[in-house]
């Protein structure tokens, strides 16, 4: 029974035996390319902005004047 070889998430090549140093990537090059995508904004994690925003409270200038 042979070990299953997973593909590199960057280039798709099968990981060579002993490539554990750069896992899950096949090489340092693929690892750095992936990191570059994160830094440049190519990759992003969507956020739910409504859940992160504090509850809006009216500012004093937004209230209607009393009559």
What total of structural domains would you count in the chain?
1
Q: Is residue 52 part of a domain?
A: no
Residue 46 inside a domain? The answer is no
Q: DSSP states of 17-43 as a string?
A: TTGGGGTTSSSHHHHHHHHHHHHHTSS
Q: What pLDDT is recorded for position 14? A: 84
For residue 54, the model assigns a pLDDT of 62
What CATH number does the domain containing 13 carry?
A: 3.30.50.10
Q: Which residues share a beta bridge with 14?
A: 7
pLDDT, one tens digit for every residue, the chain (67 residues): 456 678 999 999 888 666 678 888 988 999 999 999 999 988 888 887 765 566 656 566 656 656 6
The model's pTM = 0.56
At which residue do the structure tokens 């340092």 appear? Answer: 28
| Domain hosting residue 32, numbered range | 1-41
Give the Cβ contact number of residue 15 at 10 Å.
19
């Amino acid at each position: 029974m042979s070990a299953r070889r997973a593909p590199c998430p960057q280039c798709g090549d099968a990981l060579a035996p002993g490539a554990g140093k750069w896992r899950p990537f096949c090489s340092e090059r693929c690892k750095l390319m992936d990191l570059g995508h994160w830094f440049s904004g190519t990759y992003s994690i969507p956020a739910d902005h409504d859940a992160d925003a504090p509850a809006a409270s009216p500012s004093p200038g937004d209230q209607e004047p009393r009559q």
